[in-house]
Amino acid sequence: MNSAKRIYPKDSMTAQQRFDAAVRLETPDRVPLSLMLYYFAPVYAGVSMHQYMADPGTYASVMKKVWEEVGPWDIYYNIHPVSRLIYSYVLMMRTLWPGYELAEDEMAKVEEITYMNPEDYDSVIDGPELLGDTLFRLRMLGRFCKEAEGAGIASLATRMIIHLARQVRNWRKDFKWWREQGAAIQIGCQAEMPFDTFSQARNVLNFSMDLMRTPEKIGQASTRLAASYATFSVTVARLMGVPTVQCYCHRSSNSFISPKQFEELALPGLEVVVNRIVDAGMTPILHCDGDWLKNLPSMRRLPAGKVVLQLDGLTDIFRAKEVIGDRMCIFGDVPAALLAEGTPTEVGEYCHRLIEEVGKGGGFILAAGCEVPPNAKAECVRAMVDAVKKYGYYGERVSPPVAA
């Protein structure tokens, strides 16, 4: 159950009400703020990356410290993977962790290896639609994930259920604390989208060749897995008690494919996923890394007032507001470089511009471009918090004087 506690004394809405209003493209009491602090938090707290990622207790204490000393803010951007196996299932790339494959204070890294073969497209197309996405992931995990090596589908599925139960238990415990502070929870389930998983599984070069040689198979396979992807995501989100699904679209941008390829090959599956999540009464958050500006016109056919478009700095967020801000809630987009190298004044001024221009009329969530970088200045992150308090209240906007 969401807390009725307000984040700031002047607030007239809860954080959850504010988030929901922004998604519906309505004007809340003020602009909501979400902060993805996953790698910033341990650096700020002076805790080793290994201890932070491996121990849920350490993670919780670190995030509490950041909340109390840098915050508060509206939306808890929950990323913490309790299980390495679950992390691999979500990301679908080989991951290297601090304290395991890396030194204890290094950030986690991904290693892009080719683990999917061209014939695997046919296996997906000819395979079952029910649980298709889950079965595909389980079959692929053993090819790149150390925790899944040598395991058959049945034994791996059993192990996944155990790890998922652990993730649910820890996340729900974590969410309880955040809700007591008055924060809304951002993510009920998260996973890489099928089209983007294929790109990662084949690697950029091979996938680029596939787009030239067998584009129809990519499109068919992506759409084939879409319904199963949505069903699994909605089920997990319900278990977590958070009605949102964060869909990672890391390889569908114009940085990787053309607008025509997006519309013909990636969008049909994306449309199935979005509509099924919406039909389940949940909110899809499209995590759109890269430059998406030329894809936005075709995305207007997605349901209005139901979807969050999360940008990472490569898409012109001001143009995005013009192109699709009447259809989707815009989420972003303070640049990582500004948080790491700028001044609090510069950050505050940029946030002010975002609030005035992208936040005009509602439908906007202030955030960093994807993630607050680990080397961000704490005072610059605080400047984002201060900006929503100083500039974010819609009822306090001062209108320009009317000419006599």
Integer Cα distance of 92 and 112 in angstroms: 10
Residue 81: per-residue pLDDT: 86
* Phi, psi for residue 190 in degrees, rounded to 5: -150, 145
Tens digit of each residue's pLDDT (9 = 90 or more) over 92-142: 999 999 999 999 999 999 999 999 999 999 999 999 999 999 999 999 999
Assessment of whether the complete model's pTM goes beyond 0.85: yes
**Across residues 151-165, what is the average pLDDT?**
95
How is domain 15-34+68-80+114-395 classified at the CATH fold level? TIM Barrel (3.20.20)
pLDDT on residue 104: 96
Tell me the C-alpha to C-alpha distance, in Å, between residue 307 and each of 245, 271, 282, 284, 388: 10, 11, 9, 5, 22
Tokens of 290: 């890269």
Q: What pLDDT, on a 0 to 100 scale, did the predictor assign at position 131?
A: 95
How far, in Å, CA of 388 to CA of 368, rounded? 13
Q: Percentage of residues in the chain with pLDDT exceeding 90?
A: 95
Predicted confidence at residue 397, as pLDDT, reads 57
Domain range annotation of the chain: 15-34+68-80+114-395
Question: Which pLDDT score is estimated for 3?
Answer: 61
| Cis-peptide, bond into residue 98, ω within 30° of zero | no
pLDDT band at 400 (very low <50, low <70, confident <90, very high): very low
Q: Kindly tell me if the per-residue pLDDT of 401 is higher than 70.
A: no
Query: pLDDT band for position 396 (50/70/90)?
Result: confident
* Phi, psi torsion values for 245, nearest 5 degrees: -130, 120
